[in-house]
Amino acid sequence: MSTQALPNRAPWLSGILLLLAALLCWLLISAHLPTLLNAPAGYDIERMIALYSTLPRMVTALLCGAGLSLSGILLQIALKNPLASPTTLGVSAGAHLALVLATLFAPALVAFSRDMVAATGSLVAAGIVFALVSRRNFSPVTLVLGGLVVSLYCGAAATLLTLLNDRYLASLFIWGAGSLSQQDWTIPIGLAPKILVLVIAAGFLVRPLTILSVGDDAAKALGATPGRLRALTVALSVGLAAIITSAVGVIGFIGLAAPALARLAGARTVLSQIIWSTLIGGLLLFVTDNAIQLLAGPLSNFIPTGAVTALLGSPLLLLMLRKTKALQAPDARQVSVKRWTLPKSLTLVLGILLPVLLLIGSIVFGKSALGNWDMIFSSPAFDLVFELRAPRVVSAAAAGIMLAIAGVILQRLSGNDMASPEVLGVSSGAMLGLAFGVFFLMPNQTGSLVACATVGAFAIMGLILLMNRKSGFQAERMVLAGIAFTALLDALIGALAATGDLRSLLLLRWMSGSTYGATGSSTLVLTCLSVVLFGLSLAFVRWIDLLDLGPSAAKALGVPVGRARGVLFCLAGLMTAAATLSVGPLSFIGLMAPHIARQLGFSRAGAQILVSASAGASLMIIADWIGRYGYFPYEMPAGLISALVGTPFLMVLLSRRTA
């Protein structure tokens, strides 16, 4: 890397942060300094708080900030990706989910080693992200999309568990949003040696990583093994992030922001990047946390620092994403597709039959009030039960179809395997509208909440379309804008939930997504919409296929590129909004169904849309059925279940392809 062009101003930046930190520190503890130094007789709560709450909190902030930033910069160097960090790769979210799972189902594991549980979760999450994007040569944007999707998924699953246990898990909530509040020195004293060991280990990696930064071939010539070195570095970073998450919860985006600042200030060499990122990260979290304490006053204990850093950090991600746009490697569909052995005609017949059979079956088979399996005909309230059950099943199918098609369109247009309606921002818009309705209008009626959600979805979609009108609706940008909104919303909800306001539970229930609200009339509307939009999308297949060839080729073949993109995005947005309102923002059907279709060998737009729609409907019907009876009489949200059902299936398909 050419280094000396710019002077390294990172030391200056650190110096400024240090001064700021010292100032805040002084403001917070100067009043207690006399009593801290010589203990007064008797009980002095202010002194106890300064000594056992304020000071350990400061040390914890420094340690966590430094550790997360070190983790971030190591990931960035190893993956040659300026967007990598524990947050953007789903590592922190994976640790969080693992801890929630273990707390609920295997408390003995948590008692044995919190860190081990967290590390396992982090590794699994990272592994899934890498598996998802490995075919794309780890292109920076794709990796981050994959990571954020896994993050969302882990967050969603953690939410599901919280919903099923409501009040019991309230404590996990505050923790999940990353609270640095301390009651004694246990956490900083426990963290310090672990982090120190990993920092020393990182020290040994500096030289080989410097060689690697010259280029893989040069590194090989010098006798290094890039693959092994990368794996080792990633493992170390994941370990760091896991240990910190297990101690204080998810602190978002510090590991992304600090390295970015260090580089911006001029840190170029591997060594200086590592050193200054770590220092800046520690100071940055320290300053943020102390500023929160000063500004929020008595509330400070209770505003989770992790949610604040996420709120500040997600716009930064958007900025960075725009800058790294050029790094994105285009097109990946050149990979040869392993053909499924079934004849296509048979697959198509199955594709139509399967959802229909599932639809009927899932209406007929259910459970009685006492929890015994029975057929709907034997129910003492057949007509009522049918009226309640059938709309849900049909809504699930319609939503599955629309999400699947929206996914196909978005993946095609963006040329990005990881694009899906979840990251388009439309779902987030719907939830934002709901949040507004629940917190400010306090409507008690489901109808008005649906109206709020619809307005929100279209407002955000309009905003994104407007922002991208000039650039000709460039797909990558649209998806990036969407995902930034999603991350922002996630942070907002996290902060709201941590305040313990009962209304946030209501919001969470909506977010987790279920067909619970489906009624006869809403189902009729949804079904009609899905049929019309399905038809429309089939009418635009030619555009989709031609746009695939690239904008210039498409233009030459007579496609009005800008307008075609705009129309297709509107179509995808409409389908997403309609589906979100019935099954919630997070179903991952839109991500999985197009993949499933492609893995089955359907690569032309028309066939892919048909098979995706069938897969989407089937998955959603199954998910809804499991949601109704898996934890009877409690309801589990179909949106989340579909992610649980679909992900393993998707992984199997992906592994077939890479094999």
Of 46 and 331, nearer to other proteins (C-beta) is 46
* Residue in the block written with tokens 């590390």: 119
Of 43 and 440, nearer to other proteins (C-beta) is 43
Of 90 and 627, nearer to other proteins (C-beta) is 627
Of 183 and 471, nearer to other proteins (C-beta) is 183
Find out whether the peptide bond into 633 is cis, omega within 30 degrees of 0: yes
Closest distance of CB 357 from other proteins, Å: 22
Of 411 and 514, nearer to other proteins (C-beta) is 514
Closest distance of CB 375 from other proteins, Å: 13
Closest distance of CB 583 from other proteins, Å: 14
Closest distance of CB 31 from other proteins, Å: 13
Distance CA 587, CA 616 (A): 10
Closest distance of CB 287 from other proteins, Å: 21
Distance CA 378, CA 375 (A): 6
Closest distance of CB 121 from other proteins, Å: 19
- Pinpoint the alpha helices (H) of 513-604: 520-539, 541-547, 551-556, 561-583, 589-599
Largest distance between two CA atoms of the chain: 88
Amino acid found at 415: G
Of 293 and 416, nearer to other proteins (C-beta) is 293
Name every residue whose Cβ is closer than 8 Å to that of residue 49 and which is 6 or more positions away in sequence: none
Of 388 and 529, nearer to other proteins (C-beta) is 388
Closest distance of CB 251 from other proteins, Å: 16
Which helix (H) or strand (E) segment is 74 a member of? helix 55-79
CA distances from 350 to 74, 252, 353 (A): 48, 44, 5
Of 200 and 502, nearer to other proteins (C-beta) is 502
Distance CA 581, CA 455 (A): 11
Is residue 152 classed exposed, middle or buried when 0-12, 13-18 and 19+ CB atoms within 10 A define those classes?
buried
Of 131 and 390, nearer to other proteins (C-beta) is 390
Amino acid found at 85: S
Instruction: Tell me if residue 251 falls in helix, strand or coil.
Output: coil
Closest distance of CB 158 from other proteins, Å: 16
Taking Cα atoms as reference points, which of 622, 437, 591, 587 lies closest to residue 512?
A: 587
Distance CA 143, CA 658 (A): 17
Phi/psi for 604 (5° steps) reads -75, 145
CA distances from 328 to 64, 547, 550 (A): 31, 18, 15
* Residue in the block written with tokens 């947050």: 87
Of 117 and 128, nearer to other proteins (C-beta) is 117
**β-bridge partners, 7:** none
Closest distance of CB 517 from other proteins, Å: 8
CA distances from 483 to 152, 427, 476 (A): 10, 10, 11
Closest distance of CB 53 from other proteins, Å: 6
Of 52 and 340, nearer to other proteins (C-beta) is 52
* Helix pair angle (382-414, 605-629), 10° resolution: 140
Residues that bind other proteins (CB under 8 A): 43, 45-46, 48-49, 51-53, 107, 163-164, 166-168, 170-171, 174-175, 179, 181-184, 186, 298, 301-302, 366-370, 379-381, 384-385, 387-389, 444-447, 449, 499-502, 505-506, 509, 514, 516, 519, 628, 632-635
Give the torsion sign (CA, 219, 224, 230, 236): negative
* Residue in the block written with tokens 């109704």: 628
Distance CA 406, CA 201 (A): 46
Distance CA 379, CA 381 (A): 5
The secondary structure of 480-503 as a DSSP string is HHHHHHHHHHHHHHHHHHHTT-HH
Closest distance of CB 635 from other proteins, Å: 5
Distance CA 276, CA 616 (A): 47
| Residues 336, 657 contacting (CB under 8 angstroms) | no
Closest distance of CB 506 from other proteins, Å: 6
Taking Cα atoms as reference points, which of 512, 510, 507 lies closest to residue 639?
A: 512
Q: How many CB atoms lie within 10 A of CB 431?
A: 28
Of 69 and 514, nearer to other proteins (C-beta) is 514
Of 168 and 204, nearer to other proteins (C-beta) is 168
Closest distance of CB 115 from other proteins, Å: 16
Of 236 and 250, nearer to other proteins (C-beta) is 250
Q: What string of H, E and C letters represents the secondary structure of 106-169? A: CHHHHHHCHHHHHHHHHHHHHHHHHHHHHHHCCCHHHHHHHHHHHHHHHHHHHHHHHHHHHHHH
Taking Cα atoms as reference points, which of 365, 440, 355 lies closest to residue 397?
A: 355
Answer left, alpha or beta for residue 182, where phi above 0 means left and psi between -120 and 50 means alpha: beta
Of 52 and 649, nearer to other proteins (C-beta) is 52
Closest distance of CB 108 from other proteins, Å: 11
Closest distance of CB 451 from other proteins, Å: 14
Closest distance of CB 521 from other proteins, Å: 11
Can you give the length of the chain in residues? 659
Residue 269 has which token pair?
């060499």
Of 157 and 198, nearer to other proteins (C-beta) is 157
